[in-house]
Amino acid sequence: MAGADPIVSGMAGRYATALFELALEVKSVDAVKADLEKFDALLADNADLARLVRSPVFGADEQGKALKSVLDKAGIGGLAANFILLLASNRRLFAVRNVIKGFRTLVARWKGEVSAEVTVAEKLSDANLEALKAALKSVTGGKAVDLNVKIDPAIIGGLVVKLGSRMVDSSLRTKLNAIKHAMKEAR
């Protein structure tokens, strides 16, 4: 089932599939997903941690020791922590964000959800988040929507929504670029 998804492919896809199948086997899919999302949020918020994860300068032992401390402090344990440490020991930690993305995709498919990636300029309020989920649910024919919200101040305002193969870019940056382009052509 999990291996048939062409979106989850490559090295990161193989790791995501292996983790998903193991989580299914031990009936801890939701717990693993929550821990992975917590780690992904830590990576997004902490430049030093992101550098540790991406940099080939750090050895597997150094990454493992540092990660063990970070995971303990963040309260990430069990299968997710062991998996992240395994990625470090196999020198594949640089791909952890792609593995998490693949894992999310597999979980969403297993639950019958649709995965959507939303980029906003600033954090959405709970009311706006629920309204966005409801709007996306109506577009998907009533399927539950698993949102992965990213914050990127560079889009200035509005939002960019990726839902499956569809993308809607209503960001202010894109609109300003279109106006700029139109003004250049008008000369």
CATH classification code of 113-186: 3.40.30
Bridge partners of residue 147, in order along the sequence:
116
DSSP letter for each residue of 46-80: -HHHHHHHH-TTS-HHHHHHHHHHHHHHHT--HHH
| Domain boundary assignment for the chain | 2-107, 113-186
Residue 8 per-residue DSSP state = S
- Whether pTM > 0.75 for this model: the answer is no
Q: Could you state, in chain order, the average pLDDT of each consecutive group of 10 residues for the chain (187 residues)? A: 57 93 94 94 90 90 92 93 94 93 89 87 91 89 85 90 88 90 85
Confidence (pLDDT) at 145? 86
Task: Provide the pLDDT for residue 118.
Answer: 92
Which of 1.10.520.20, 3.10.20.740, 1.10.3720.10, 3.30.365.10 is the CATH number of 2-107? 1.10.520.20
**Secondary structure of residue 160 in the 3-state scheme:** strand
CA distance 143 to 133: 10
The structure tokens listed for 33 are: 């997903």
Tokens of 1: 């089932």
What distances in angstroms separate CA 136 from CA 1, 17, 41, 132, 142, one per listed residue? 25, 26, 23, 6, 9
- For residue 146, what pLDDT is reported? 82
- Identical topology for domains 2-107 and 113-186: no
- Spatial contact of 181 and 150, defined as CB atoms under 8 Å apart: no
Q: What is the greatest pairwise CA distance in the chain?
A: 65
